[in-house]
Amino acid sequence: MNETARKPRAAGFMLFTLLLTAAFVALGVWQLQRRTAKHALIAALTERLAAAPVALPPPAQWGALTPARDEFRRVSFSATYAASPDAMVYSSGSAVRKDASGPGTWAFLPARLPGGEIVVIDAGFVENTMQDRSVEDRAVKKLVTGAPLALSGYLRFPEAPGWLTPAENRDKRLWFVRDHLAIAHALGWGTVAPFYVDLEQPAPENGIPRPGPLDVHLKDDHLQYAITWFTLAGAVLVVFAVWMRGRRAA
């Protein structure tokens, strides 16, 4: 191959190498930025989970609540479970409850505040062996006594379904994503708060459903991913250098 033909080929490979290296470096930097943001989130969540419960924000402030600022904030309040159909949300496990690592469902039901507003309560975990709807109904109905209860838990916000999230089963009142707004609309609970409360206590005498404290452990693999991307960037440069040396020796 003559020198005239070799130069465009070398220039093209060099451009490809630079673009690929820049892409890998950018991905590595992005992972480091995500790591910084994740550490800030972990610190914020740790602080919120360790704080003493505060009064549930009044309805006038509900519209200003955001997941970034208020997710997992501990609250306490008085409410009465409404005599409405409950819903179960299936989960293969929980990243925030050590005692709910296996498959099961979460019992969602509406509760009425003293002022008449409705807040949806995730009343706790129901083991996989309890997914017979008739058994679940008997367990949840024990919560609906008509008497106000002192509740404490954590503010949570609705999840968005993913591409692979199964559709709900209306007959069994079974959902596969914690979207309490969609559940409330489907079951006729009326207008509900924009958040739901992940119940910490009290627990029913039979432990079904089972509320409990949250312990958030977010995955932090970003440094590992960043090192991988930077290593790939270095490997591309090494391959290009070896290739150029071979051309010169040819």
- Give residue 217's pLDDT band: very low, low, confident or very high (50, 70, 90): low
Contact 200, 156 (CB under 8 A): no
pLDDT at 129 over 60: no
User: pTM surpassing 0.85?
Assistant: no
Q: In this predicted model, which residue has the larger pLDDT, 129 or 215? A: 215
* Residue pLDDT, tens place only, 180-207: 999 999 999 999 999 999 999 998 877 7
pLDDT at 191: 95
- Give residue 224's pLDDT band: very low, low, confident or very high (50, 70, 90): confident
- The whole-number average pLDDT for the span 207-212 is 86
- Give residue 12's pLDDT band: very low, low, confident or very high (50, 70, 90): confident
Half-sphere exposure of 107 (CA within 13 A, CB side): 34
- Give residue 137's pLDDT band: very low, low, confident or very high (50, 70, 90): low
pLDDT at 4: 55
- Give residue 35's pLDDT band: very low, low, confident or very high (50, 70, 90): confident
pLDDT at 5 over 70: no
pLDDT at 218: 65
The CA distance from 231 to 237, in Å, is 10
Contact 155, 73 (CB under 8 A): yes
pLDDT at 64: 95
pLDDT at 81 over 70: yes
